Amino acid sequence: MFSRRTALLGAASLPLFSIRRASAAEEVVIGAVYPLTGNSAQVGQDAKAVMELAAEIINGTHDRMPLLLGEGGGLPKLGGAKLRLVFADHQNDPQKARAEAERLITQDKVAMIIGSFSSATAATISQVTERYEIPYISADNSSPTLTQRGLKWFFRPSPNDVTFTEAMFNFYKEVGAKTGRAPQTVSLFYEDSIFGIDSSNVQRKMATDAGMKILADIKYRANSPTLSSEAQRLKAANADVLMPSSYTTDAILILRAMNEIGYKPKAIMAQAAGFQESAFINGVGALAEGVMSRSSFAGDAVAMRPAIPAINALYKARQNKDLNDNTSREFTAFQVAADAINRAGSTKATDLQKALQATDIPGDQTLMPWKGVKFDAAGNNLLGTPVIQQITSGAYRTVWPFDVASTPVVWNVGQ
């Protein structure tokens, strides 16, 4: 009887992994699918830069770093094999993402795929990797439904929007207890994609469970030329907290639209995405001051993660910006991928799957303020612990949990 893979690819096909002979050692090829052109091109270029940096550190191009595989020298259990990245451009189009993932598998023979910024593209890429039975490492896709499809080859090191939203509402409870000004009302604002809809569904439920009244519930078309009418509706609602789920272009557009009509929300708590990009701060300037967002990363947590300054400096030399929520997750996802390949001592897909399922990385071996990386049966990280950040003097500062905060939160609710 033919296996599923044989049925798909045919007996004459080449294996779905790659160890190629290099000059001094073998190399393992990993695919990455990101928006390298189009309206999210900068996000993709940043992802490319940070993952290439992670590969260089593991391969030994830079000085030793105090984190997983930071000693350099390649993958020890594969005889010092080096890692090589092959990038593909999905242009933020789910169907292009599907085609590019298949090309990486069938032509470039990648060992696994990392991606992909937008959850809509992750949905199609992971369908391809599931069909070809190779791992997909979801670096920065947060929609909860991605791990509710019964996939066996999907692994997400980062928290998802359920975990992120729980952090937001825990913050509301704690900041309310600390200040005596708990938020009572919220406005939801989200794009019409899997990311926006999933995020709003979780937020709507948690707001209701917390006894908070939803004064506005606004779904908008992504990349709309104007958000003026939506800004007017948000102003009329004037909730204690505005909770947007938007990518960069729309994050800039809604801040500008609200400013044009003289509306400044008491508090903004974003589902990261566009609100955690330097392009957002550059695009709206002083309007970003005080905006809060959930985050996977705390760049100011250098006492607990001593590798941050050195890696941030190397990344900044390339991109002229600091690590952020997205790039730190992409760096960590590459670490997780490399660790699995190394522990497997193989690039056989089933060996990699088993290694990923057995992943147990302590948090202090990463850049992240997490307890660690350990996957459940659906591929979610059980040990991802988000933080809340606030833009203060043009920079992201951690304000919660309060015991790891680098600066006090500015909280205008109830004033």
pLDDT in tens, 274-322: 888 888 999 999 999 999 999 999 999 888 899 999 999 999 999 999 9
If you average pLDDT over every residue of the chain, what do you get? Answer: 91
Q: Could you give the domains of the chain?
A: 4-159+303-384 (3.40.50.2300), 162-295+388-400 (3.40.50.2300)
Residue 13, Ramachandran bin (φ over 0: left; ψ between -120 and 50: alpha; else beta): beta
pLDDT in tens, 215-266: 999 999 988 899 999 999 999 999 999 999 998 999 999 999 999 999 999 9
Model pLDDT, residue 307: 95
Please state, as a whole number, how many other Cβ atoms lie within 10 Å of the Cβ of residue 374: 18
Does 12 have pLDDT greater than 80?
Answer: no
The mean pLDDT of 336-359, rounded to a whole number, is 97
Model pLDDT, residue 15: 37
pLDDT in tens, 318-339: 999 999 999 999 999 999 999 9
Does 2 have pLDDT greater than 70?
Answer: no
CA distance 31 to 56: 16
Model pLDDT, residue 19: 47
Model pLDDT, residue 254: 96
The mean pLDDT of 155-175, rounded to a whole number, is 94
Lowest mean pLDDT among 5-9, 114-118, 283-287: 5-9
Token digits of residue 201: 């569904």
The mean pLDDT of 153-182, rounded to a whole number, is 95
CA distance 285 to 362: 37
Does 10 have pLDDT greater than 70?
Answer: no
pLDDT band at 16 (very low <50, low <70, confident <90, very high): very low
Model pLDDT, residue 1: 36
The mean pLDDT of 351-356, rounded to a whole number, is 98
Model pLDDT, residue 266: 96
Model pLDDT, residue 192: 93
Does 404 have pLDDT greater than 90?
Answer: no
pLDDT in tens, 367-400: 999 999 999 999 999 999 999 999 999 989 999 9
pLDDT in tens, 22-36: 333 489 999 999 999
Model pLDDT, residue 150: 96
CA distance 300 to 298: 5
Helix, coil or strand: residue 40: coil
Model pLDDT, residue 3: 41
**247: Cβ contacts below 8 Å, ≥ 6 apart:** 40, 118, 191, 195, 222, 273, 274
Give the alpha-carbon dihedral of 90, 112, 155, 316, to 10 degrees: -60
Residue 10, Ramachandran bin (φ over 0: left; ψ between -120 and 50: alpha; else beta): left
pLDDT above 90: percentage of residues in the chain = 84
Model pLDDT, residue 110: 97
